[in-house]
Amino acid sequence: MSAKRINLTLKVWRQSAGEIIGSLKTYSASDISTDMSFLEMLDVVNENLIKNGEDPIAFDHDCREGICGMCGSVVNGRAHGHESNTTLCQLHMRHFSDGDTIVIEPWRAKPFKVIKDLVVDRSALDELIQAGGFISVNAGGAPDANAIPIARETAEAAFNAAACIGCGACIAACPNASAMLFVGAKVSHLSLLPQGKPEAKKRARQMVRKMKELGFGNCSNEAECEAECPKGISIREIARLNREFIKAEFS
């Protein structure tokens, strides 16, 4: 399929700094190849803005391969755009039509402060991890790889949860700006594996408390996170978090 050229109208959230009130501004994106990724389309728009002496649109990005978790915006009301299991950098312009108007907004949640335009401060996710999303290791000689037997099914289940890239789309998509899928994925990933079990109780208790402290909302089982997660992480991980939490609190 050969590339087409399309013209689009963008409505982009512009906010020059966190403390300044932002607004949606309209730009035209002309002669966009349908083979471009969404971020490449923004690059083209930015090139023109720079040429005209205007401030380019700030957006987060890094690997552009869908694996780092840096990119992400709400595109036409959908986190990472309307394609499922896709990060914004892997969303291609062939999924848009000539003449489309695209509204681009940053992740919205109380703990995610806008730094500039589409860039938000996601260090709240780091604080959640610091609250218990790790295993403590007494460093020494590397253990043999087969010293701790783990069933393949268990390893697969842990991998499913460990697929989280920490982009924050679950929080952006959640009607309540809850971080339950992010915490659920981390708690599941570690509690399934023998290395994570010794700290399982402490982890569940502390990460859940940290969510509230940071100002994230409460889960109401709407499953919007699951539908928007670029890594297809299931709300079953949230159910496992709930189980881990119940076990930790009531025993």
Q: Which residues bind another protein (CB under 8 A)?
A: 11, 13, 24, 74, 76-79, 82, 84, 103, 105, 108-110, 173, 175-178, 180, 208-209, 211-212, 215-228, 235-236, 238-243, 245-246, 249-250
User: Would the CA dihedral through 43, 48, 51, 55 be positive or negative?
Assistant: negative
Closest contact distance (angstroms) between CB of 125 and another protein is 15
Residue whose CB is less far from another protein, 13 or 38: 13
Residue whose CB is less far from another protein, 6 or 174: 174
Closest contact distance (angstroms) between CB of 62 and another protein is 24
Residue whose CB is less far from another protein, 196 or 217: 217
Angstrom distance (rounded) from CA 189 to CA 100: 40
Closest contact distance (angstroms) between CB of 84 and another protein is 8
Angstrom distance (rounded) from CA 188 to CA 93: 35
Residue whose CB is less far from another protein, 66 or 106: 106
Angstrom distance (rounded) from CA 34 to CA 87: 17
Closest contact distance (angstroms) between CB of 204 and another protein is 9
Q: Which residue has the tokens 């992010």?
A: 182
* Residue 101 CA: distances (Å) to CA of 28, 79, 110, 122: 9, 16, 27, 28
Point out which residues pair with 9 in neighbouring strands. 28, 101
